[in-house]
Structure 1
Amino acid sequence: MTSTTDETTPPRHDHIFRNALIYDGSNDGPLPGEVAIAGERIVAIADQGTIPAGPATREHDLKGKALAPGFIDSHTHDDRIVLDSPDMLPKISQGVTTVVAGNCGISLAPVTFDGPPPAPLNLLGGKEAYQFPTFADYARAIAETTPGVNVAALVGHSSLRLATMSDIGGKAAASEIAAMLDRVDEAMENGAAGFSTGLFYPTNAGADADEVSQVAARFSAHGGVYATHMRDEMDHVLDSIAESVDTAARAGIQLVISHHKCAGVSNWGRTRETLPVIAKAAAGQPIGIDAYPYAAGSTNLRADLVTDTYRIMISWSEPHPEMTGRDLADIAAEWSVDLDEAARRLDPAGAIYFQMDEDDVRRVLAFPLTMIGSDGLPHDKHPHPRLWGTFPRVIGHYARELGLFPIETAIHKMTGLTAKTFNLKDRGRIAEGCFADLVIFDPATVIDRATYEDPLQFSVGIEKVFVNGRLSWEAGATTVHRNGRLVGGRAG
């Protein structure tokens, strides 16, 4: 590496990182060197000791620690928390500098409610959370709040349907699809990054592939991407993959299969079937998948997911908040009722479902097309530990401890690959001209500390995080210097 700084003029560097082990987000091995930033951008990458300091430069001696692009959380439900708790400590403390919100067909905009929002939209809060009849309203709120991390926002199909349809039980009529398309245009013109569906959920399940492809095609015309929580991740997972691939092909759009899994004990091991199918399809069209590094998922407590074949933990309950953090089986035994009756009494509620096999998790994480996404639910009283631990867990546990892949591959899965998939221009890489979203971490010690029993725990080994060129968070700090913005799409 050599510096591109012109030595005949005084350098303007706000920060120089020296003695760094640079992971550039490309999946290449790390190289020792130094990096300089000025304003919001990376302006020089060089061999050790070759970037001259200017009068206003702040020097950072990394002493051989790692310098990487800020992590991009490819799958979140952070739509509201970036406004209500804009420091975003659960994410920035992991090294995350950008979150992709609006997944699983659920987005704050463009929909409002007169009463409680239906499940799963209640995962983002009550009717007071839904204040944004247009995407422009949501974009304005982000700009006025200045969250601690950048936000790439998808528009959810459930939100579009609830805003335009009188009966969401079936396919939308032509006039209702036209109304959705008007909202698509408005959203993409005001900075949305793309489209998501949650065909698994009642608010979205009535849409057939024709409706989805029509809406997705309009997002495609604006340069958006399409992320889907497929119709079925259990017995009919292969059918759902085929539907997703075909729908995206018809729409001519980048596909992201959300939180890929083979759920339910009877489906354990079936990633041996699903991943080759996805790989074959990806040879002919743009396809990515995201995954979290845990063998349990989390969503609303649903009757169709209640079983005695895997553990279920309650993450919140409106009628019985005292049961938060306890297992459904223990609650049922205490009440002397069966699991189904206990779930009925707890509802509305959320749950953590231990429905996946660890070998499947590892196969999915190691798959070359897999990005890392937390899928955390920040409004849960007792959230899944993925909300606080996903990214250090991938590096520390799966890369360093288990050797599932090299650390540079882990970094690529949470930076360069994700930025490319979601069209996040000049992000996800350490390269001259890119935005200075950066994380300094210790590859020898970084690890998650959040557990299912005690999920609100900071990870260790993340030392400093920069967002758009500004030092935003340091280890041990509870204050964030917020410098995030809306990114992706026309937001840049």
Structure 2
Amino acid sequence: MSKPFDIVISGGTVVDGSRGLRFDADVGIVGDRVVAIGDMSSASRNQTIDATGRIVAPGFIDVHTHDDQAVIYDPAMTAKVSQGVTTVVTGNCGISAAPLPDTHVLPMPLSLLGRQDLRFATFRDYLDHLRDSPLSVNVIALVGHSSLRACTMDDLSRAASEAEIASMRDLLSDALDAGAFGLSTGLAYPTAINAPTAEVIEVGRPLTKSGGLYVSHMRNESDNVMDSLSETFEIGRELGVSVVVSHHKIGNRRNFGATSRTLPYITSAMEKQSVCLDCYPYDAGSTMISTDPNMLDGRVLIISSEAHPECAGRDLDDIASDWGVGKVEAARRLQPGSAIYFLLSETDVRDILRFPHTMVGSDGLPGTEKPHPRLWGTFPRVLGRYCRDLGLFPLETAVWKMTGLTAKNFGLVDRGVLKAGSFADIVVFDYDTVNDRADYQNPTLRSSGIDIVIANGSVIWQNGEHTNCHPGRVLTRTAEASE
């Protein structure tokens, strides 16, 4: 008698993450792997999950997160698991929990990593700590350029010296050897805005040998977005590595419609080098509180303020009016903290999301009471609002943008697709009801329509609750490359 399946997901419609057409089939799981897809109605099994009338898809990969510390202090990761996410990419925008100096105060945006006890001197220490932690989701970790600068420089408002570049390069080499997937930058931020292109290239030299990714929150996403794309592509060419343009967007009303220039330019670059991009499905972004008038050119909703915590959840206009000051001065008084900026065009958001090569990332900031709703709603929002309701693309394409495309771009082996032999990272959802519920007034509402989430063969979400199972793993570039 053959060994029974541990789990059979029966009666569902499989959307396998490859962009291939959906098909009806059962999915059989043994251990942490999918071992069969087909008719298993007569097969013996230990557990049956009835997926009648449901979609069975690969678990979603959140390609852009700031969950570096959250995966440790919040083992359930409910904000992500409740959306069907089974893998998160951390260390984006130049901000990573390792390596970081053991100082009480870090400059914004590094201080968004609020837990001093969860900052690590070496990247290997960070990954080892993750391995010893009860993870719900798989973790792919990037090294932050601003974090490297904070470890080696006494003043982040200047360019690095040759000696400092050499030190950063050594730290990056160590991180890549430990399993980091690549280097991220946040060149728009005070911690890196004065780093010239040459610095980034020289720091990033170890990427060439390792095959790591260069992932960039570019220097400008507004008036000078084309120049910033050019710089990003130049860095990728010089290093001979794949580039990921983080959360591609066009800021400020005067630039609305610029996707008619950026997307063809990205397409042209893709013909010459390896270029990827991601976006989030909202017309507002979120980051540190800024006093840049360009950032304040529109509605600004305060998420958190260390100086005035009572202002969380209020509009900057109202705060400034109450204080009898301008928006810039009000923002200065509120620093440090985080805010939501309504600077984007919904038409541009749709154009970028519809672009064939765009991956999906939440870019949510955990650890606050009033986060951007994208932390809790990104993936069901793509499925419900943009795919089902607005018809931007077929369901097969929507799932691919959140699974197979990301797995391919990050070089993941046997993840992001549902096939025999793949890891059993799976989400079962109701396509008729799946939707985000989180909004700017109630940003932590759980999404609807996500029935079952499985990571590495273990059910982690069922009946609207976490199962208290933690099968998540640390995925490393070195391990994936050796498969």
- TM-score tier, shorter chain, comes to over 0.9
Question: Which shows bigger deviation, 307-316 or 260-269?
Answer: 307-316
Corresponding residue for 1:404?
392
| Correspondences of 1:45-444 after superposition (within 5 Å) | 45-46=37-38, 49-50=39-40, 52-54=42-44, 56-130=45-119, 132-305=120-293, 309-444=297-432
SS in 1 for 2:238: helix
The letter of the residue matching 1:344 is: R
The Cα of 1:381 is off from its aligned counterpart by: 2.8
CA 1:160–1:308: 2 relative to 1, 3 Å:
closer
For residues 35 and 258 of structure 2, what CA distance do their matches in structure 1 show?
46
Corresponding residue for 2:28?
36
For residues 106 and 441 of structure 1, what CA distance do their matches in structure 2 show?
33
Corresponding residue for 1:13?
5
For residues 351 and 145 of structure 1, what CA distance do their matches in structure 2 show?
30
For residues 155 and 65 of structure 2, what CA distance do their matches in structure 1 show?
28
The letter of the residue matching 1:386 is: R
SS in 2 for 1:411: helix
Equivalent residues, number? 480
For residues 76 and 415 of structure 2, what CA distance do their matches in structure 1 show?
21
The Cα of 1:28 is off from its aligned counterpart by: 1.6
For residues 290 and 422 of structure 2, what CA distance do their matches in structure 1 show?
44
Unaligned ranges ≥5, structure 2: none
Contact 2:460 2:469 in 1 (8 A): yes
For residues 174 and 293 of structure 2, what CA distance do their matches in structure 1 show?
36
CA 1:482–1:265: 2 relative to 1, 3 Å:
same
Residue-by-residue CA offset, 1:214-250 (whole Å, 9 max, x unaligned): 2333123112111100000010000000000011011
Unaligned ranges ≥5, structure 1: 1-8
Contact 1:317 1:347 in 2 (8 A): yes
For residues 479 and 122 of structure 2, what CA distance do their matches in structure 1 show?
16
The letter of the residue matching 2:132 is: E
Give the alignment's TM-score, normalised by structure 1: 0.95
The Cα of 1:398 is off from its aligned counterpart by: 0.2
Residue-by-residue CA offset, 1:237-291 (whole Å, 9 max, x unaligned): 0000000001101101110000000101111110111000001101111111110
SS in 1 for 2:321: helix
For residues 147 and 220 of structure 1, what CA distance do their matches in structure 2 show?
31
Residue-by-residue CA offset, 1:464-486 (whole Å, 9 max, x unaligned): 00000101111321443111011
SS in 2 for 1:290: strand
The letter of the residue matching 1:469 is: G
The letter of the residue matching 1:31 is: F
Give the alignment's TM-score, normalised by structure 2: 0.97
Q: Does 1:24 align with 2:16?
A: yes
Residue-by-residue CA offset, 1:310-368 (whole Å, 9 max, x unaligned): 11000001111111001000111122221112112211121100000000000000001
SS in 1 for 2:229: helix
Superposed CA RMSD in Å reads 1.4
For residues 283 and 307 of structure 1, what CA distance do their matches in structure 2 show?
33
Contact 1:399 1:405 in 2 (8 A): yes
Contact 1:307 1:339 in 2 (8 A): no
The Cα of 1:119 is off from its aligned counterpart by: 0.5
For residues 195 and 465 of structure 1, what CA distance do their matches in structure 2 show?
30
For residues 249 and 21 of structure 2, what CA distance do their matches in structure 1 show?
29
Contact 2:169 2:205 in 1 (8 A): no
SS in 2 for 1:145: coil
SS in 1 for 2:184: strand
The letter of the residue matching 1:331 is: I
CA 1:213–1:453: 2 relative to 1, 3 Å:
same
